[in-house]
Structure formats: structure tokens, C-alpha cells
Amino acid sequence: MLERVLEPEVMDNPSEAAAYHAMNHERVNELFVGDVKKSLPHSGIHGPILDLGAGNGLIPLLLRSAFPRSPVVALDAARSMLVIAKQVAADAGQSAVGLVQARAQRLPHPDGAFPLVVSNSLIHHLPDPWQALSELWRVLAPGGWVFLRDLFRPSSQSVIERLVDTYAVGESETARRLLGESLHAALTVGEMRELVERLGVDGATVFASSDRHWTWCCQKPVTAVA
């Protein structure tokens, strides 16, 4: 198994943020939001959605379309990403997406503020993801849902190269490099399971959902009222 090699926690280099935004994430983003919606009960959710590591803001727009009654808080630590996200929201005429610059390890929100917390491709950026997971669990409302997805670290460098050749074909050299580095920085499914078990959650709620992604989806228990 490859050792984890960290990449920068915050993608706040304007050129790299622009390179990331230029990559074609349309299919992956649509699949992510579609899977979020399918994973929730038919009653849906009632209240705001928190998107951690919202990046260029494209997923928050899809969340607004999928959950039109729910405002979306798009949180990211990188100012360069939020500059892009602000323009993306403006171009779409979307005013119900709030942009917040903050780290996932220290969320500026009260306990139980959100009935749904989502994140796509954040965890591999964090040297120690535990604090972010405990924070998102804190702001998740009792009975609320969490849906996280990220890359998982392959077993060898040759697998990373194959995945880059498959999923970054035709992309710039910067984009190919970023994908390879992200795969090398990612957690394995087993490592992610160990982390959610520290929250008291069944590790089986983390599962491999593609040849390069894990997904964590679960409902926070409702604490009985004394």
C-alpha cells in the first residue's frame, strides 16, 4: 500500500484554482448531487445545507436546483476558490448560496445548525481529517444526514498513473498533476472507516463507490429528550 503523501491543505494559488476550475467536473458533480438526493428519505430535508470545501461553487448551484427550498452555505478555506465561486453564483443569478471563508476544522456555526452536511473531495486535503469530521458532526442536526465523497488512495503508483490516464485524458499537465497528487494524498476506505467509528458511527457506512472514490453516508441519531 502506498504511503500517504500530503498536498497543500488550501488551494489558494490563483493559477491552480483556475486550473482546477477549468477541468471538466460536470459528470462527477451531477452524480454527486444526484446520489445525495437519492440517499435521503422521501420526506427530504427542511433547512439549510452546508457544503464543506465547496471550491468553485458549482456543486452548491446543483444543490440549490435539487433542493430548491434549502439555502446553501458554501464554505471553503481558499479565498481564490471563493472568488471563482462568487462569479459562478453571479453568472447563474443565484442569490441563495452564501459564501463563507473558514476552515472545516473550526466551523463558525452553532451546534445542530444543518439538517444536511455534504462535501466532495475535501478530506484528502487535510493532514488530520479528524477535527473536520468532529466539527461537521457537531453542526449536523440530530436526525440530520451527512454525505461525504472523496478519492481513495490506490495500492500502487502504477494504479495512480492508470487512473490519471483514464480520468484526466485531454486535460492540461497541471490538471493531471493535481489529480495524481490528490490520489496520493487520499485516505483509504479502511482509514476513513476508522475515523467515523471514533464518532460512534458504523464503519460500514463508508464504502467504495467507484474505482477511485469512497462515500460516507449516514444519519445522525436523534438524542432522546429527557
Q: What is the pLDDT of residue 12?
A: 66
Give the H/E segment covering residue 76.
strand 72-76
User: pLDDT-based confidence at 21, cuts 50/70/90?
Assistant: low
CA distance 25 to 35: 15
pLDDT of residue 224: 42
> Higher model confidence: residue 22 or residue 214?
214
Domain extents for the chain?
A: 14-219
| Integer Cα distance of 139 and 153 in angstroms | 28
For the segment(s) 14-219, the CATH number from 3.30.420.40, 3.10.20.30, 3.30.70.3340, 3.40.50.150 is 3.40.50.150
pLDDT at residue 226 in the model: 35
pLDDT tens digits along 58-98: 999 999 999 999 999 999 999 999 999 888 888 888 776 89
Nearest to 124 by CA among 35, 7, 1: 7
Q: Decide the pairing of beta strands 114-120 and 49-52.
A: parallel
CA–CA separation, 3 vs 94, rounded Å? 42
Residue whose cell numbers read 471514533: 198
What is the DSSP-derived secondary structure letter of residue 151?
E
How far apart CA 150 and CA 67 sit, in angstroms, is 22
Average pLDDT value over all residues in the chain: 91
Q: How confident is the model at residue 13 (pLDDT cuts 50, 70, 90)?
A: confident
Residue 22 pLDDT level (bands cut at 50, 70, 90) = low
